Amino acid sequence: MEKVYITGIGQVAVGEHWDQSLAALSSKAIRAALKDAGDPQPEIVYIGNFLASSISHQANLGALVCDAAGLHGLEGTTVEAGEASGAAALHMGYLAITSNMADCVVVVGLEKMTDMVGDEIEAFAAQSGDTDFEGMQGLTPNGMAGLLMQRYLDQYHAPCESFASFPITAHANGVNNPFAMYRKNVDLDSYGKAPMVSVPLSLYDVPTFADGAAALVLVNRKLLRDGQKAVLISASEIATDTLAVHDRADPLAFDAVHISTTKALEKAKLTRDCLDLFECWDTPSIYGMLSLEAGGFAERGRGWQFATLDNLALTGRLPVATLGGIKAHGFAPGAAGAYQVLDAVQQLRGEAGRNQIASAQVAMTQAISGAAASVITHILRKM
Amino acid sequence: MNDRENLLLKPARAVGIVGYGVYIPQYRLPASEILRIWAGDEGGAPVKEKAVPGLDEDTITISIEAARNALARAGIDAQKLRAVWVGSESHPYVVKPSSTVVAEAIGASEHIQAADLEFACKAGTEAVVAAMALVGSKMGDYALAIGADTAQGKPGDALEFTAAAGGAAFVIGPAENALATIAASYSYVTDTPDFWRRQHQVYPEHGQRFTGEPAYFKHVTAAAQTMLSQLGTTAADYAFAVFHQPNTKFPQRVARELGFSKEQIETGLLSPVIGNTYAGASLVGLTAVLDIAKPGDRILVVSYGSGAGSDAFDMRVTDLIEERRNKAPLTQQYIERRIEIDYATYARYRGKIVMK
Amino acid sequence: MEIPRHWRLQKQRLALVGEVCPHCQAKIFPARDVCPECGGEAKTAFKFSGKGEVYSFTTLHSVPAGFEENAPYTVALVKLDEGPIITAQLTDVGEREVKIGTPVEMVTRRIRQDGDERGMLIYGYKFRPVLRMS
């Protein structure tokens, strides 16, 4: 099996890019990533995207994106796994190289939320849940997170502010990231005063939709040049759960997180304490909490005791959202999984600036779609 | 047609009410709110308050809950029904039956009669007559008759005080399984345009004082008097009487004129506290009576529908009432389940706020 | 217009008809081809009682297209007496306090319309705090 290396990264800051189309966003990220990789010649482009068909009425992104980036004639296809689409595209790129189908692949996570305004956005975002039996009851992704948070608070007698560690950490780390949408600290006081979105979920517990594109260049050993800043993909694992949360024996279990994490660690031949950072799905904050428990970093029902500001900080036991996470980055759903990997690559390359985790060697990233109906975990190693 | 033997509708097989059920939405708009908005707090009102449907309620949902309650009391499988008839003047669709939604929701068979009836406020009792005919002719053993409405009243109009929401459902079946037998029905119908709503119109028109003497009183009186004279009964033979109740005064006056006492009608006179539930009105009143009636009690029910006509029924409560009445919520329990709303909330719930 | 997808689910939505597994007797809602408990083929229709309790709940203030007229509303995970959990709106809550464990019962209500006021009306299950019975 060929080894897979990330040699280039490129991103557009997540934000409301009113004047930028799907094509423009993707080409900027791809061209930046190829340049960063030393301009190799890719053979395949995998596009992770969730909502272009709904919001922009645009399908066939393979042709759109390749054409826009000046990569005429290349193989290009869209990979869709809800909000985890960016990570799913990386998984496809990983398969293409490990299987020796290609020497060089470009992966881009791409989402254009602002082509449309209005309540339709919430309805489209709900497509990662079960449309017939959840969406048709008027449930949204934030509503689902509210249901799980309410249950969690009741079942484990956790205090509400135990979830604050996720947004406070993400915002603190986003301050130093020029690509983050929010570069402002949040404290416990403002968390407590935030308006409710979906009781008990407040504004700081949920992500903010915006546009984004994040690209990665993958190569095999053959194309790796001496002295190149490369990061090895040690594992890429997708697991699924029931689409509808009500179909699960234990809605708080997040089984797909458990399966995906366990398999990834086995593949990488690593244990949890080998991880220097974990780019977890930090928002909705309840998903961050349940990920820590299902991933085995905290005991079931004790995640709120583990997820302290100290433990999640850059110098803590398990740093998360090290460059702002999804919360401070802004949430471009189909691109978020790719941004997570970009952030981890920066840490492993030692390019995280003031947020650099000292001697970071191993990082895990984990993208979640729906209420963890699909979970995609990657483990990355510094070369 | 003055042969007295021919005027009553008497089924070949004795029939009765096997189960009954009611539904009244929980919201109440006090008449004082309408006076506040439209009359500067001045003047009187025909009722104290009226029942208002929630945002997710309509004639179909009201019919479904009333039907489920009726089936619970009847203790029969919905698959035994041979007909589902829904009488209303506020069917959610102009074209497409309410009755098929109700039938599907209660788990009725596909081998049934189903249709919506419209005859202003007597569409529900007309459904009861049809059900009596179906069961009485032995074409089927059980039929479901429903009267339900979410009535419309133009803002500021006199009808706004009373146009209310609610409904009642009756499983009609063989007399031997009935909690109340129905000896006969009689209907009196003329072409009297006292109230109507034309195609594409949101609110009905009414003839104001013309709705009284030549309309309500003439028809209710004719139906009641014919029924009594044909049966050879007098008001004193009845423990209870229920008359269509578009307001508080009309049924009180017609009862008095027909020789019924305040005590005989007060149980079934609900319009003061829930308003006029139109196709549901006399039938909802009947459910309140059945909730407290004793075996052997005789009940006279007279509906009225604008346009115009009245259906009269002679019923007698059987021993089965005792074991069945508590198998579903009582009418008074629905009335007590009360959330008062102001005019703004009412305007929102009834779609009176212009959204586009 | 999305007529078929709603029509297809009418028995489930209007009458809470799911399945009982012929192999392990597990009650299943919504109906599916493979029993989630034993993996056997599931196909026998089963009508649920509509009784259950609140497993969790949340009130949505920001709602998706098609539901604006009803906002804000409460959505719950309801654990049915027969076992399965289903997602449904709570209705007629009023000033009654809803908690995890509150007993609820199924009612059939208007869920939304398909598209605009010309579209079909979609009816289905919601749950409300159990009515006090005599």
- Closest to B129 in 3D by CA, of B312, B290, B315, B298: B312
Enumerate residues 6+ apart whose C-beta is below 8 A from B51.
B24, B25, B26, B27, B28, B164, B165, B166, B274, B275, B277
- Alpha-carbon distance of C132 to A323, in angstroms, equals 54
Biggest alpha carbon distance in chain B?
59
Chain C touching partners, 3 or more CB pairs below 8 A:
A, B
What is the CATH class of B182-320? alpha beta
Which residue of A118, A150, A197 is in closest CB contact with C65?
A118
Is C48 part of the contact surface with chain A (CB cutoff 8 Å)?
A: no
Distance separating the N- and C-terminal Cα atoms of chain B: 54
The reply to whether C58 touches chain B by the CB within 8 Å rule is no
- Average of per-residue pLDDT across A149-168: 96
Chain B neighbours, 3+ Cβ pairs < 8 A: C
* Residue C134 contacts A, CB cutoff 8 Å: no
Question: Structurally, what CATH architecture does the domain formed by C3-129 represent?
Answer: Beta Barrel (2.40)
Q: With pLDDT > 70 as the criterion, what percentage of chain A qualifies? A: 100
User: 3-state DSSP helix/strand/coil percent for chain A, to nearest 5?
Assistant: 40, 20, 40
Phi first, then psi: what are they for A202, rounded to 5°? -110, 180
Q: How many residues does chain A have?
A: 383
* pLDDT tier for residue B355 given thresholds of 50, 70 and 90: confident
- Residue B206 is a catalytic residue: no
- In this model, does residue B298 exceed pLDDT 80? yes
Cα–Cα distance measured from residue A243 to residue A340, given in angstroms and rounded to the nearest whole number: 23
Distance of residue C134 Cα from the nearest chain A Cα, in angstroms:
31
User: Which among C14, C56, C85, C109 is the top mutation candidate for probing chain A, defined by the most A β-carbons within 10 Å of its own β-carbon?
Assistant: C56
> A333: helix, coil or strand?
helix
By the 8 A CB rule, do C52 and C79 touch?
yes
Classify domain B13-179+323-349 by CATH architecture: 3-Layer(aba) Sandwich (3.40)
Superfamily of domain A128-206+235-382: Thiolase/Chalcone synthase (3.40.47.10)
Instruction: Give me the helix-helix angle, B249-258 and B218-231, nearest 10°.
Output: 30
Is B160 catalytic? The answer is no
Please determine, for residue B356, whether its predicted confidence score (pLDDT) is greater than 80. no
Instruction: Return left, alpha or beta for C66; rule: phi > 0 is left, psi -120 to 50 is alpha, else beta.
Output: left
Chain A residue with minimum CA distance to C124: A137
Residues of C in contact with A135 (CB under 8 A): 64
Local structure of C113: helix, strand or coil: strand
Both tokens of residue C94? 């009023």
A122: nearest CA partner in chain C: C64
Q: What is the DSSP string of A109-122?
A: EEE--TT--STHHH
In this complex, how many residue pairs, one in chain B and one in chain C, have their CB atoms less than 8 Å apart?
A: 64
Q: Are A321 and A313 in contact (CB under 8 A)?
A: no
Q: Is C76 on the interface with A (CB under 8 A)?
A: yes
- Say if residues C72 and A197 touch (Cβ distance below 8 Å): no
From C63, C70, C73, residue closest to A122, measured CB to CB = C63
Could you tell me the residue ranges of all domains in chain C?
3-129
A18 Cβ neighbours under 8 A, 6+ residues apart = A114
Extents of the domains making up chain A: 5-118+211-223, 128-206+235-382
Question: Are C64 and A118 within 8 A, CB to CB?
Answer: no
Quote the Cα angle for A210-A215-A220, to 5°.
Answer: 160
With beta carbons under 8 A apart, name residues in chain C contacting A156.
none
Do the Cβ atoms of A147 and C76 come within 8 Å? Answer: yes
How many other β-carbons are positioned within 10 Å of the β-carbon of residue B353? Answer: 10
Whether the CB of C95 is below 8 Å from some CB of chain B: the reply is yes
Task: Please check the confidence at residue B264 and state whether its pLDDT lies above 70.
Answer: yes
Q: Please give the structure tokens belonging to residue A59.
A: 């399908």
CA distances (Å), origin A23, targets A111, B5, B89 = 10, 86, 55
C30 touches chain A (CB under 8 A): yes
- Shortest Cα–Cα distance, C126 to chain B (Å): 10
Asked if residue A137 lies in contact with residue C70, where contact means CB atoms within 8 angstroms, the answer is no
A333 vs chain C: nearest CA distance in angstroms?
17
Residue pair C36/C64 in contact by the 8 Å Cβ criterion: no
**A147–C77 C-beta distance less than 8 A:** yes
- Residue from the list B26, B64, B92 with its beta carbon closest to the beta carbon of C108: B64
Q: Do chains B and C touch (3 or more CB pairs under 8 A)?
A: yes
Q: How confident is the model at residue B227 (pLDDT cuts 50, 70, 90)?
A: very high
Residue type, B136: G
Q: For position B3, what pLDDT does the model report?
A: 53
- Compute the distance between CA of residue A336 and CA of residue A87 in angstroms, rounded to an integer: 8
- Of B58, B330, B333, nearest to C110 by CB-CB distance is B58
CA distance linking residue B2 with residue B6, whole number of Å? 8
Return the residue of C nearest to A150 by Cα: C56
Cβ contact B265:B248 at 8 Å: no
Question: A246 φ, ψ to 5°?
Answer: -65, -15
- What whole-number distance in Å separates Cα of residue B173 and Cα of residue B78? 13
- Would you place residue B5 in the very low, low, confident or very high pLDDT band (cuts 50, 70, 90)? low
Answer whether B333 sits within 8 Å of C132, measured CB to CB: yes
Candidate from C57, C64, C76 with C-beta closest to A140: C64
**Looking at beta carbons, which residues of chain B come within 8 Å of C133?**
326, 328-329, 333
Asked if A147's CB is within 8 angstroms of C58's CB, the reply is: yes
Residues in C touching B58 (Cβ below 8 Å): 110, 121
Q: A328 by DSSP, 3-state: which?
A: helix
Residues B145-189: tens digit of each pLDDT: 999 999 999 999 999 999 999 999 999 999 999 999 999 999 999
Residues of chain B with pLDDT > 90: what percent? 97
Which neighbouring-strand residues pair with A369?
A: A374
**Which among B55, B57, B105 is the nearest to C14, CB-wise?**
B105
Given B61, B107, B339, which is nearest C110 (Cβ)?
B61
A322-362 pLDDT per residue, tens: 999 999 999 999 999 999 999 999 999 999 999 999 999 99
C117 lies within 8 A of chain B by CB: no
A136: nearest CA partner in chain C: C111
Task: Find the range with the poorest average confidence among A9-18, B71-80, C65-74.
Answer: C65-74
Using the beta-carbon criterion (under 8 Å), do A246 and C9 form an inter-chain contact?
no
The interface predicted TM-score (ipTM) is: 0.96
- How do residues A29-86 score in pLDDT, each as one tens digit? 999 999 999 999 999 999 999 999 999 999 999 999 999 999 999 999 999 999 999 9
CA distance C121 to chain B (A): 8
Q: What is the DSSP letter of A212?
A: E
Is the fold of B13-179+323-349 the same as that of B182-320?
A: yes
- CB contacts, 8 Å: B53 with chain C: none
Q: What's C132's DSSP letter?
A: P
Chain C closest-CA separation from residue B275 CA (Å): 20
Q: How does A137-165 read in b/e, with b if 16+ C-beta sit within 10 Å?
A: bbbbbbbbbbbbbbbbbeebebeeebbbb
CB contact under 8 A, A198 and C59: yes
Q: How many residues does chain B have?
A: 356
The verdict on whether B89 is a catalytic residue reads yes
List the structure tokens of B352.
């009176």
pLDDT band, residue B4 (cuts 50/70/90): low
Q: Which of A4-8, A159-163, B51-55, B347-351 has the lowest mean pLDDT?
A: A159-163
Q: Report helix, strand or coil for A3.
A: coil
The single residue of B89, B160, B206, B219 carrying the catalytic annotation is: B89
Q: Identify the pLDDT of residue B1.
A: 46
Minimum Cα–Cα distance from A148: chain C residue: C56
Pick the CATH number of A5-118+211-223 from 3.40.47.10, 3.90.550.10, 3.40.630.30, 3.40.190.10: 3.40.47.10
Q: What is the mean pLDDT of residues A305-315?
A: 97
Instruction: Please tell me the total number of residues recorded for chain C in this structure.
Output: 134
Encoding tokens for residue C11?
A: 């028995």
| Chain B CA closest to residue C96 | B339
Per-residue pLDDT of chain C (134 residues; tens, 9 = 90+): 899 999 999 999 999 999 999 999 999 999 999 999 999 999 899 999 999 999 999 999 999 999 999 999 999 999 999 999 999 999 999 888 899 999 999 999 999 999 988 999 999 999 999 987 64
C-alpha span between B279 and B284 (Å, rounded): 9
- Shortest distance, CA B226 to any CA of chain C (angstroms): 38
Distance, CA of A170 to CA of A175 (rounded, Å): 9
The SS3 of residue A152 is helix
The residue-averaged pLDDT of B68-82 equals: 98
- DSSP conformation class of C116: S
- Start-to-end Cα distance in chain A: 18
Q: Do A151 and C85 touch (CB under 8 A)?
A: no
Q: Over range A194-208, report the average pLDDT.
A: 94
Quote the mean pLDDT of chain A.
Answer: 97
pLDDT of residue A69: 97
Distances (CA, A) of A19 to A16, B225, C88, C117: 9, 79, 40, 35
- Tokens for A160? 């509400």
Nearest Cβ partner for B104 among C15, C47, C70: C15
Q: What is the pLDDT of residues A111-126, one digit of tens each?
A: 999 999 988 999 999 9
User: Under DSSP, is residue B14 helix (H, G, I), strand (E, B) or coil?
Assistant: coil
Classify residue B276 by its DSSP letter: B
Q: Note the pLDDT tens digit of each residue in B35-54.
A: 999 999 998 999 999 999 99
Q: What is the average per-residue pLDDT within B251-280?
A: 98
Could you read off the pLDDT of A122-157 as tens digits, one per residue?
999 999 999 999 999 999 999 999 999 999 999 999
pLDDT (0 to 100) of residue C96:
86
- Calculate mean pLDDT across residues B63-72: 98
Q: Is B55 within 8 Å of C108 when comparing Cβ atoms?
A: no
From the candidates B33, B57, B121, B126, give the one annotated as an active-site residue. Answer: B121
